């Protein structure tokens, strides 16, 4: 029944995208590991790691798109869930260092020895085991999102107010994680990782596996998102996004719908963070910075919010651009990013994918029937006083 449900949720674009991701998950590691370094088909390890990082960003952008593009909640705190997932993974990786740290203490991580701590804080227990860390990667962001969302949605905090308090949340976490007393390595964060599941984290094989894991995680997230969006549940979400009051008057409970979506999205962000940390080798409080969360928003906006493929494309494109710019013209990068924000909101409100679809749709009316229904949101009726101000002015 579940498979039928999932199959029903696939349209052609999503299936193609998932197939591509699955193929990439196998081909890229194969080209990296099996093809000799002289061959033009060889992919160097640093490129594998770099694109693996982009894939985790894409997963984060997809998570944000689920709440923003389909539910109308502009979260400016998604980097917090990402970082929390990252910290959970980081804690596991730190425990794997064992006695190979700088101080060689078999019981305590380096930074605790440095701070003269005598024993491990209670919340570090259990992170010796991968299964526990994996559970926490889902549970901690999910729990935070659940509590935060339960409070916020129940009292109908919407629009700009919600955006600002999500930003306050990530800012508060940023300040908290900077404190040494918190027991998460303070300013320096967690780093100097050695092993993941018993394999050297620096090894070529591990890099390729992490890339594959990221690609597969993204494919699965895409599948789940697509299932959510195309179900009846997803239709209600779009209804909430475009006319919350009306949906409520029709008898739906907006807070429940939003809460479920927000929590799922936070868990996806947590997984993205957990895959990100072993690939970059460090997690520090800087990941909580409010600016990071806003940057995720622009990836989603560039790709096209309200489309599932858009954020993946947007995250990859913008970060690829960032890598090139910051290496070649570091002065210009912020100008370019700023201009991207302005230009996207002014000229490309639906993003690359959204605009592309609109173009192909207007060219041939026949194709209109193929467009996913969730994009054909109702625009009938006046834009009366009851329409939420943040309603999409698309189409």
How many residues sit close enough to other proteins to count as binding (CB under 8 A)? 53
Residue 122 burial by Cβ neighbours in a 10 Å radius (0-12, 13-18, 19+): exposed
In the window 254-273, what residues touch other proteins (CB under 8 A)? none
Closest CA to 321 of 308, 339, 306: 339
Least distance to other proteins from the beta carbon of 54, Å? 21
Considering only the stretches 20-28, 115-123, 294-302, 373-381, report the one whose residues sit in contact with other proteins under the rule CB under 8 A: 294-302
Residue 58 found at the interface with other proteins (CB under 8 A): no
In the window 335-364, what residues touch other proteins (CB under 8 A)? 335, 337-342, 344-346, 349
Residue 167 found at the interface with other proteins (CB under 8 A): yes
Least distance to other proteins from the beta carbon of 369, Å? 29
Closest CA to 353 of 64, 9, 14: 14
In the window 70-89, what residues touch other proteins (CB under 8 A)? 74
Residue 156 found at the interface with other proteins (CB under 8 A): yes
| DSSP symbol at 76 | S
Residue 147 found at the interface with other proteins (CB under 8 A): no
In the window 178-207, what residues touch other proteins (CB under 8 A)? 178-179
Report the half-sphere exposure of 72 (CA within 13 A, side-chain side).
32
Instruction: Report how far residue 177's alpha carbon sits from residue 89's, in angstroms, rounded to the nearest whole number.
Output: 15
Q: What Å distances lie between residue 74 and 86, 166, 224, 372, CA to CA?
A: 22, 9, 20, 22
Phi, psi angles (nearest 5°) of residue 235: -65, -40
Structure tokens at 341: 């924000």
Considering only the stretches 53-61, 213-221, 248-256, 333-341, report the one whose residues sit in contact with other proteins under the rule CB under 8 A: 333-341
Identify whether the C-beta of residue 60 lies closer than 8 Å to the C-beta of residue 292: no
Query: Considering beta carbons, is residue 11 or 255 the nearer one to other proteins?
Result: 255
Residue 165 found at the interface with other proteins (CB under 8 A): yes
Considering only the stretches 20-28, 78-86, 106-114, 288-296, report the one whose residues sit in contact with other proteins under the rule CB under 8 A: 288-296
Residue 331 found at the interface with other proteins (CB under 8 A): yes
Among 7, 172, 197, 324, binds other proteins (CB under 8 A): 172
Residue 146 found at the interface with other proteins (CB under 8 A): no
Closest CA to 212 of 374, 379, 43, 335: 43
Instruction: Report how far residue 274's alpha carbon sits from residue 270's, in angstroms, rounded to the nearest whole number.
Output: 6
Among 16, 160, 197, 324, binds other proteins (CB under 8 A): 160
Least distance to other proteins from the beta carbon of 81, Å? 16
Query: Considering beta carbons, is residue 376 or 386 the nearer one to other proteins?
Result: 386
State the binding string over 220-259 for other proteins (x if CB under 8 A, else -): -------------------------x--------------
Residue 175 found at the interface with other proteins (CB under 8 A): yes
Instruction: Report how far residue 170's alpha carbon sits from residue 358's, in angstroms, rounded to the nearest whole number.
Output: 35
First to last CA, the chain: 35
How many CB atoms sit inside 10 A of residue 312's CB? 28
Residue 319 found at the interface with other proteins (CB under 8 A): no
Residue 382 found at the interface with other proteins (CB under 8 A): no
SS (H, E, C) 180-237: HHHCCCHHHCEECCCEECCEECCCHHHHHHHHHHHHHHHHHHHHHHHHHHHCHHHHHH
Instruction: Report how far residue 275's alpha carbon sits from residue 319's, in angstroms, rounded to the nearest whole number.
Output: 17
Considering only the stretches 87-95, 153-161, 188-196, 269-277, report the one whose residues sit in contact with other proteins under the rule CB under 8 A: 153-161
Identify whether the C-beta of residue 96 lies closer than 8 Å to the C-beta of residue 196: yes
Least distance to other proteins from the beta carbon of 266, Å? 16
User: How far from the centroid of its chain's Cα atoms is residue 232's Cα?
Assistant: 24
Residue 317 found at the interface with other proteins (CB under 8 A): no
Where do contacts with other proteins occur on this chain (CB under 8 A)? Answer: 74, 148, 151-152, 154-161, 163-165, 167-169, 171-172, 175-176, 178-179, 245, 290-291, 294, 297-298, 301, 331, 334-335, 337-342, 344-346, 349, 383, 385-387, 389-393
């Amino acid at each position: 029944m579940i498979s039928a449900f999932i199959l029903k949720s696939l349209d052609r674009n999503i299936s193609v995208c998932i197939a591509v991701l699955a193929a990439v998950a196998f081909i890229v590691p194969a080209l990296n590991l099996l093809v000799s370094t002289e061959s033009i088909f060889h992919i160097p390890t640093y490129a594998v790691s770099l694109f693996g990082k982009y894939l985790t960003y894409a997963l984060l952008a997809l998570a944000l798109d689920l709440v923003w593009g389909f539910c109308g909640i502009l979260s400016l705190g998604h980097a917090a869930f990402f970082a929390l997932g990252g910290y959970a993974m980081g804690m596991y990786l730190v425990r794997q260092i064992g006695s190979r740290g700088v101080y060689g203490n078999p019981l305590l991580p380096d930074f605790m020895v440095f701070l003269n701590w005598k024993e491990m804080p209670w919340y570090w227990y259990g992170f010796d085991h991968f299964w526990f860390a994996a559970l926490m990667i889902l549970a901690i962001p999910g729990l935070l999102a659940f509590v935060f969302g339960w409070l916020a949605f129940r009292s109908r905090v919407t629009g700009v107010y919600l955006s600002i308090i999500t930003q306050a949340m990530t800012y508060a976490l940023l300040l908290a994680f900077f404190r040494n007393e918190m027991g998460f390595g303070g300013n320096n964060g967690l780093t100097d990782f050695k092993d993941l599941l018993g394999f050297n984290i620096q090894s070529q094989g591990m890099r390729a596996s992490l890339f594959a894991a990221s690609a597969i995680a993204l494919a699965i997230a895409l599948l789940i998102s697509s299932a959510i969006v195309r179900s009846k549940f997803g239709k209600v979400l779009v209804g909430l996004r475009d006319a919350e009051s009306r949906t409520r008057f029709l008898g739906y409970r907006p807070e429940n719908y939003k809460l479920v979506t927000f929590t799922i999205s936070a868990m996806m962000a947590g997984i993205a963070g957990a895959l990100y940390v072993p690939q970059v080798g460090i997690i520090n409080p800087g990941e909580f910075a409010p600016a990071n969360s806003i940057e995720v928003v622009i990836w989603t906006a560039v790709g096209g919010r309200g489309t599932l493929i858009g954020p993946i494309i947007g995250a990859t494109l913008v970060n690829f651009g960032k890598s090139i710019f910051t290496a070649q013209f570091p002065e210009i990068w912020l100008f370019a990013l700023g201009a991207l924000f302005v230009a996207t909101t002014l000229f490309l409100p639906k993003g690359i994918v959204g605009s592309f679809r609109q173009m192909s749709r207007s060219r041939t009316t026949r194709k209109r029937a193929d467009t996913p229904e969730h994009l054909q949101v109702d625009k009938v009726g006046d834009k009366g006083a009851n329409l939420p101000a943040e309603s999409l002015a698309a189409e």
